[in-house]
Amino acid sequence: RAKETGSNAVCFYDASMDRAVRERNVLAMDMRSGLLRGEFQLHYQRQNDTFTGAVVGFEALLRWNHPYRENVPPSEFIPIAERSGFIVELGEWVLREACREAASWRNPLSIAVNVATQQLADPRFPGLVQDILQETGLDPARLELEITETGIIADHQRALQTIRHLKSLGARIAMDDYGTGYSSLSMLLAFPFDKIKIDRQFVDGVATSAQSAAIVRSTLILASSLEIPVLAEGVETDEHVNFLREEGCVQVQGYFYGKPVPRTEIEAIVNAVADHRPDQAKVA
């Protein structure tokens, strides 16, 4: 064992730690080539109106079909991409792909896209969003950018400016994973969010934990006084839905309504024809 020598402490050699670091480095490299080889794919999870049950939009969620490692989840590869800085490039691909996909839908449903901290901090980001909107022809009002507390906590002033810039393009801003940070509440007052997404850890506990129920309830009360709509994430059961309906949460997302699925599986929803206008009858 290596000997500790005060501030110049030598790290113990640990084979398992070494392996984990090597694995991360390999994945970080695989990611770059994987993007070029088309290994990344978006899945789409529906977001529903709590009261009518209608689908109001979809969240785009990134998937990686790694050539030899089965199912590397975002919880594993996103942090690696963040550490290497590759998330900026990967995130640009996600945004373009999601906007292109949504622009092709017959129904003008909204599309929510996750934005990483480094993307939001990149001074080129608002310009990129503007370019992609123009290039894909997506109505900016249909684009919802999901940001987290870590994305805005480092530099409040700059984040506020960026958010205002993005909103001036017509995009909407949602606060993701609400309740998991240290200062979620003050964030709500300081930033002009268009939506709050309550994290699924609180939704999961509404029926069993008085604390979770209290957090969800108080968030809904505060949001309603600020006139910000709330979406609850991770809705899995009847109990969840009933609680959220009673408490006035307007939107829900979770396995109860549907898991994230490839684009081919949402075609029926995004292209469903609600009425029969003459121009559509002609095509049929």
Per CB under 6 A, 78 contacts ligand C2E: yes
CB atoms within 10 A of CB 111: 24
CB atoms within 10 A of CB 247: 18
Give the shortest CB-152-to-Mg ion separation in angstroms. Answer: 15
Span of 30-38, 50-58, 71-79, 136-144 interacting with ligand C2E by CB under 6 A? 71-79
Per CB under 6 A, 80 contacts ligand C2E: no
Three-state SS across 43-59?
Answer: EEEEEEECCCCCEEEEE
Q: Which is closer to ligand C2E, CB of 146 or CB of 149?
A: 146
Rule CB under 5 A: which of 133-152 touch Mg ion? 146
Per CB under 6 A, 50 contacts ligand C2E: no
Give the shortest CB-114-to-Mg ion separation in angstroms. Answer: 5
Q: Which is closer to ligand C2E, CB of 45 or CB of 188?
A: 45
Q: Which is closer to ligand C2E, CB of 87 or CB of 223?
A: 87
Encoded one letter per residue, x for contact with ligand C2E by CB under 6 A and - for no contact, window 93-132 reads -x-------------------x-x----------------
Per CB under 6 A, 179 contacts ligand C2E: no
Beta bridge partners of 45: 59
Check if the beta carbon of residue 144 is closer than 8 Å to that of residue 111. yes
Per CB under 6 A, 88 contacts ligand C2E: no
Residue 10 CA to its chain's centroid (Å): 40
Check if the beta carbon of residue 231 is closer than 8 Å to that of residue 251. yes
Per CB under 6 A, 176 contacts ligand C2E: yes
Find the helix or strand (DSSP H, E) in which 145 lies. Answer: strand 143-147
Burial 45-67 (b: 16+ CB within 10 A, else e): bbbbebeeeebbbbbbbbbbebe
Residue 151 partner contact from Mg ion, ligand C2E, none using kind-dependent CB cut-offs of 5 to 8 Å: none
Instruction: Return the closest-CA partner of residue 195 out of 250, 247, 260.
Output: 250
Query: What is the residue type of 69?
Result: R
Give the shortest CB-177-to-Mg ion separation in angstroms. Answer: 4
CB atoms within 10 A of CB 157: 7
Span of 50-58, 162-170, 184-192, 228-236 interacting with ligand C2E by CB under 6 A? 228-236
Positive or negative: CA dihedral 119, 124, 128, 129: positive
Residue 184 partner contact from Mg ion, ligand C2E, none using kind-dependent CB cut-offs of 5 to 8 Å: none
Give the shortest CB-50-to-Mg ion separation in angstroms. Answer: 17
- Binding residue (CB under 5 A) for Mg ion from 48, 114, 184, 212: 114
Report CA-CA distances (Å) from 42 to 33, 138, 197, 238. Answer: 17, 17, 20, 28
Contacting positions for ligand C2E (CB under 6 A): 45, 61-62, 73-75, 78, 91, 94, 114, 116, 146, 176-177, 200, 233-236, 253-255, 260
Contacting positions for Mg ion (CB under 5 A): 114, 146, 176-177, 233
